[in-house]
Chains A and B, each alone.
Chain A
Amino acid sequence: MNTTAPTTEQILGPTPGQILRRKIFGHRGIVIGGGIFLIIVLMAVLAPLIAPYDPYHQDLVARLVPPIWQDKGTWTHVLGTDQVGRDYLSRLIYGARISLMIGVMAALISGIIGTSMGVAAGYFGGKVDMVVTFLITCRLSLPVILVSLAVVAIVGGSLEMVILVLGLLLWDRYAVVMRASTQQIRSLDYIAAAQAAGCSTWYILAREILPNVMNQLIVVATLEFAHAVLLEAALSFLGLGVQPPLPSWGLMISEGRNYILFDAWLIAIPGSALFMMLLAVNLLGDGVRDVTVPENRA
């Protein structure tokens, strides 16, 4: 007898948690996207520790110092300095904070609005559904960029204002997706069972519906996060978003625009950072969708 008894793991097979972990770490998009995103988050959190200079400190003697890979680049300013001599690397690092903050806050505000509307429409149906669908149609008819530009121009641009405007505008996708998912779940047996057991509507919404639409919610949240980051950069680029001297990436591109002819790196650097962040979030969102709700893949 040289056979050993099978271990518990061999008998039971991998647990759902292990399967999920394997799927996540085996998914190239999640690993790459997650890796880049993690770096950006660390950059934002540790900004005061890792930024070599104060992002607002101007040094008019050292204006437009080129980055290290160009002929006149120096190690004192690895990514060079901008038109008023502020260290570009430090501004880039602090800029991650602004993008992350806007993305998270706008996705959160619009998520609360859109999810409540979508879940209500899907669960109650009838007139509630009609009203919500109508509101979604109206919202979709309004061009986001134009409305946010106009509102910011009228009310005045600031970080808080951009977050608020984007949060109040970007709820449509949440509402559409949550409505459809809730409609699917509503007709399932366990909802009927909960109703028969006398659970309150709030209890059913919070404990039966919401946990089961969470996967789709996370996917939409990543998409809207990226959408908000992109729109903030566009608004700031057009001069109607976050105001100077804040180191917003969009604003940095806008400020570098006048030097586009000789110092193209001034726009190339913040633009690449923005591109990397959007790429990471999109990869992450696609990956989460692949792993959790493969049937929604388009």
Chain B
Amino acid sequence: MLIYTAKRILLAILVSLTVSALVFSLLYLSGDPATALAGERANEADILAIKAAYGFDQPVYVQYFKWLAGAVQGEFGNSVYFRLPVIDLITERLPVTMTLGVCAMAFALLLSIPLGVLAAMYPNSLIDRAALLLAVLGQALPSFWFALMLIVVFAYWFPILPASGSDSWEHFVLPTIVLGYYATPAFMRLTRTGLLDVLSSDYVRTARAKGLRPAKVLFKHALRNAIIPVVSLAAVQFGFMLTGSIIIETVFALHGAGFLAWESISRSDFPTVQAVLLLFSWFYIILTFLADLLNAWLNPRIRVA
């Protein structure tokens, strides 16, 4: 386990470094970032001043290492648009995104696991087919459109929920449904196939044969094992949800980190864009790392490979 953990840590660090280099180089896609920052009406002197102020006059690798050293310490420079330290902006916005992520994850799990269990208990029944239909429809539903249609129905036709903002818990209801629903099909399919596998295994037959109550067999013996892959998928899905929150937060004007990302992208606020992109990537790397460790801990066979 120790060797496996060490290997995975090394891999995570290597991936983080590569990703940070990619994120940093995005800035240079536009050609000269100083000219882009200065805007169309800037003259030579302005551009030179910006170059000096942001360190664009130094060699690229020096800029990269300076930026990375700052990033590791949470220092991303100032936002070009808000004129505030980027890290302050992010720490201010992150709680909204995290709240949304946790709520959406809870919603997804609460909806998909019972459905998955029912579908596996009664395969090919009406409920199994309904669950499958829900999954197929859910996969084809564009989240931003679903969000807008929910706004139309629940904010305009039946005005029971607010359409935008992030002031009260009511503001989180619709975004939670949209973001959570998006992750539901994957969880449900995994719960269903996992449980179907386990239910046909020998130890479940033994448990049944020795006369345990069906509920006890299901929850104590079968579900516990069937749920393992769902746990690791949940870690990865949480990472996807944070990215998905960019669209959802924009539609609902929730002032989270995703909204900040969109604001800074549309205002060419490069330091903020880089910081958010890097943090989201690192967050995803940490989540998959934890999921891998969890998997290896639960299933010793993985450690050898």
Contact = CB atoms under 8 A, between A and B. Distances in A.
Contacts of A257: 148
A164 to B, nearest CB: 12
Interface string A138-149: 101111111101
B265 interface: yes
Interface stretch (B45-53, B169-177, B218-226, B273-281): B273-281
A40 to B, nearest CB: 13
A146 B244 CA distance: 9
A64 to B, nearest CB: 16
B265 A143 contact: no
28 contacts: A134-B15, A134-B18, A138-B15, A141-B19, A141-B281, A142-B23, A143-B242, A143-B243, A143-B277, A143-B280, A146-B276, A146-B277, A146-B280, A149-B265, A151-B26, A153-B265, A153-B268, A154-B268, A234-B142, A234-B143, A240-B265, A260-B148, A260-B151, A260-B152, A264-B149, A264-B152, A268-B149, A283-B136
B120 interface: no
B284 A141 contact: yes
A150 B26 contact: yes
Q: Which 3 A-B pairs have the closest CB atoms?
A: A143-B243, A279-B140, A271-B145
A1 interface: no
Given A239-B266, A261-B156, A142 B141 contact: no
A137 B17 CA distance: 12
Contacts of B29: 151, 154-155
A103 to B, nearest CB: 13
Contacts of B139: 278, 282
A153 B148 CA distance: 24
B243 A145 contact: yes
Given A154-B26, A260-B152, A271-B142, A234 B247 contact: yes
Nearest to A230: B142
Contacts of B144: 233-234, 237, 253
Contacts of B244: 145
Nearest to A133: B11
Given A134-B14, A260-B151, A275-B140, A149 B246 contact: yes
B15 A137 contact: yes
A234 B250 CA distance: 11
Nearest to B27: A154
B200 interface: no
B30 interface: yes
Interface in A243-298: 253, 257, 260-261, 264, 267-268, 271, 274-275, 278-279, 282-283, 286, 298
B247 A145 contact: yes
Contacts of B137: 279
- The secondary-structure label for the interface of chain B is helix
Interface in B182-228: 189-190, 193
Contacts of A144: 243
Interface in A117-170: 134, 137-138, 140-147, 149-151, 153-155
B64 interface: no
Nearest to A254: B144
Contacts of B14: 134
Contacts of B27: 154
A274 B145 contact: yes
A138 B148 CA distance: 33
A121 to B, nearest CB: 16
A112 interface: no
